[in-house]
């Protein structure tokens, strides 16, 4: 006979929901509703909501003030936390690049017993940005591809919390920046192509031209000139929140169908564009690595695992690079000590199947 278990009392279910929200930082920015609103939102009676709150007060997760206001409380068993609450502020358009940075931040947060709270913003004047800067001990900011307006730049400069940007240089304003890929390291890709005999390297970009993408294109331009290489810029960027991989596939397909030629090699400022381009080349009968070579900045971390594997600058260990940021937050010092530009000590070039010896351009 199947054993049945007694159903959990309703107030305990409500308490469990609130407990999970508190421990995950849901009420750092948003206030806990009053008992009356809480009962309405949970679909329970006022008495059930009150009993749930009493459980959490007893568990040292909530405090109720004389005016009835409820506030989350750092529990005794977590009082030893040093990292406190850190916001991971990113555009509301997820990508593998953002996910890899977030995972690195989560690893360090777990090590330092800190709470990492992912938060999305839709535009630069989104109130979420202001709330993050004013309510968290530290903020890790991934910039949108849209230009930052002057009023937001001023707000970031005057932020009352520890703020670090990722791949968006605001060091001139005293804000530390984690630079995962220095644009100057594109020279490693160009040196590799040159060693294979390539003398015509085009640049294909479909990413919105933000600060970092513009720098990568410029270093491609300088690098090809220094090596006396030929090359054309094929620049057809998508708008923010559109997919560069789709545009790259369309651009390459359209050019090939019109009979337009590419150089013997193509450099892409990001991995997504390279993946779209390689698919289009393959569908039009070109063998990647033999008929045409493709390389990129490996900002998605999947270059080794694509088919063919993509020659690229590898994504560094994000967790290692972010540890100084969390140490800074724990120190509670207002100013960052050391160089404002944080970058990997070395750049790893992964040589994949997507690059091979040059042929006489004429695909």
Q: What is the pLDDT along the chain (363 residues), one digit of tens a residue?
A: 444 445 778 888 888 888 888 877 777 666 788 888 888 888 888 888 889 888 888 888 888 877 777 877 754 334 344 447 899 999 988 788 899 999 999 999 999 888 899 999 999 999 899 989 988 999 999 999 888 999 999 999 999 999 999 999 999 999 999 999 988 999 999 999 999 999 999 999 999 998 999 999 999 999 999 999 999 999 999 988 889 999 999 999 999 999 999 999 999 999 999 999 999 999 999 999 999 999 999 888 889 999 999 999 999 999 999 999 999 998 888 889 999 999 998 889 999 999 999 975 455
Listed residue (275, 329, 330) closest to 299, CA to CA: 275
Domains of the chain: 10-77 (1.10.10.10), 82-181+317-342 (3.40.50.2300), 183-315 (3.40.50.2300)
pLDDT of residue 12: 87
Confidence (pTM):
0.78
pLDDT of residue 100: 92
pLDDT of residue 6: 53
CB 84 within 8 A of CB 332: no
pLDDT of residue 75: 44
Please spell the DSSP secondary structure of 55-120, one letter per residue: HHHHTTSEEE-TTS-EEE---GGGTT-SS-EEEEEEESS--HHHHHHHHHHHHHHHHTT-EEEEEE
């Amino acid at each position: 006979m199947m054993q049945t278990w007694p159903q959990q009392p309703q107030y305990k279910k409500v308490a469990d929901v609130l407990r999970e929200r508190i421990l995950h930082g849901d009420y750092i920015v948003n206030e806990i509703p009053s008992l009356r609103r809480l009962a309405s939102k949970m679909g329970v009676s006022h008495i059930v909501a009150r009993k749930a709150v009493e459980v959490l007060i007893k568990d040292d997760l909530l405090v109720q003030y004389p005016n009835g206001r409820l506030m989350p409380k750092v529990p005794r068993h977590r009082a030893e936390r040093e990292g406190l609450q850190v916001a991971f502020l990113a555009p509301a358009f997820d990508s593998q690049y953002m996910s890899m940075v977030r995972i690195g931040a989560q690893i360090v947060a777990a090590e330092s017993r800190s709470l990492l709270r992912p938060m999305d913003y839709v535009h630069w004047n989104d109130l979420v940005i202001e709330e993050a800067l004013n309510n968290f001990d530290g903020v890790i900011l991934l910039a949108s591809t849209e230009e930052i307006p002057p009023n937001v730049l001023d707000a970031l400069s005057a932020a009352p919390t520890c703020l670090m940007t990722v791949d968006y240089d605001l060091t001139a304003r005293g804000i530390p920046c984690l630079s995962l890929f220095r644009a100057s390291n594109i020279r490693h890709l160009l040196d590799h192509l040159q060693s294979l005999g390539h003398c015509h390297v085009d640049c294909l970009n479909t990413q919105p031209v933000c600060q970092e993408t513009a720098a990568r294109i410029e270093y491609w331009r300088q690098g090809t000139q220094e090596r006396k290489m030929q090359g054309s810029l094929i620049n057809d960027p998508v708008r923010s929140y559109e997919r560069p991989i789709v545009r790259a596939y369309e651009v390459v397909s359209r050019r090939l169908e019109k009979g337009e030629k590419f150089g013997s090699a193509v450099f892409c400022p990001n991995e997504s564009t390279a993946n779209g381009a390689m698919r289009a080349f393959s569908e039009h009968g070109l063998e990647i690595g033999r008929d045409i070579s493709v390389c990129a900045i490996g900002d998605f971390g999947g270059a080794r695992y694509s088919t063919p594997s993509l020659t690229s600058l590898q994504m560094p260990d994000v967790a290692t690079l972010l540890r100084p940021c969390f140490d800074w937050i724990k120190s509670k010092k207002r100013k960052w000590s050391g160089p404002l530009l944080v970058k990997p000590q070395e750049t790893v070039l992964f040589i994949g199947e997507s690059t091979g010896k040059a042929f006489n351009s004429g695909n």
